[in-house]
Amino acid sequence: MMTATTVTRFAPSPTGALHVGNLRTAILCWLWARRQGGRFLLRIDDTDAARSEERFVEAIRADLGWLGLAPDGEERQSAHLAAYEARFDVLRASGRLYACYETPAELDLRRKVLLGRGLPPVYDRAALKLTQADHDRFAEQGIAPHWRFRLEHGAAIEWDDRIRGAQRFDPATMSDPVVRRADGSWLYLLPSVIDDIDMRVTDVVRGEDHVSNTAAQVQMFEALGAVPPAFAHAALLTGAEGKLSKRLGSLGVEHFRAAGIEPQTIVALLARIGTSDPVEPFVDPAPLVEAFDFGRFGRAPAHFDEEELAGLNAKIVHQLDYEAVRERLPEGMARPAWEAVRPNLTKVADAGDWWRVIEGPIEAVAIAEEDRGYLREAAALAGGIDWAGDPWHALTGALKDATGRKGRALFLPLRLALTGQPHGPDMANLLPLIARQEAVRRLEAAGG
282-309 per-residue burial string, b: 16 or more CB within 10 A, e: under 16: bbebeebbebbebeebeeebbebebeeb
Distance in angstroms (rounded) separating the CA atoms of residues 289 and 305: 23
Q: Say if residues 48 and 15 touch (Cβ distance below 8 Å).
A: yes
Closest CA to 384 of 437, 446, 445: 437
Q: In what order do the strands lie in the sheet with 97-100?
A: 97-100, 146-149, 178-180
Please give the full DSSP string across 396-440, using - where no structure is assigned.
HHHHHHHH---THHHHHHHHHHHHSSSS-S-HHHHGGGS-HHHHH
Phi and psi at 373, nearest 5°, equal -65, -35
Distance in angstroms (rounded) separating the CA atoms of residues 380 and 447: 11
Closest CA to 294 of 20, 32, 84: 32
Q: Is 246 annotated as a binding residue?
A: yes
Q: Say if residues 269 and 355 touch (Cβ distance below 8 Å).
A: no
Amino acid 163 reads I
Q: Which residues 6+ apart lie within 8 Å of 263 measured at CB?
A: 66, 67, 68
Residues placed in the known binding site for ATP: 246
Binding-site positions: 246
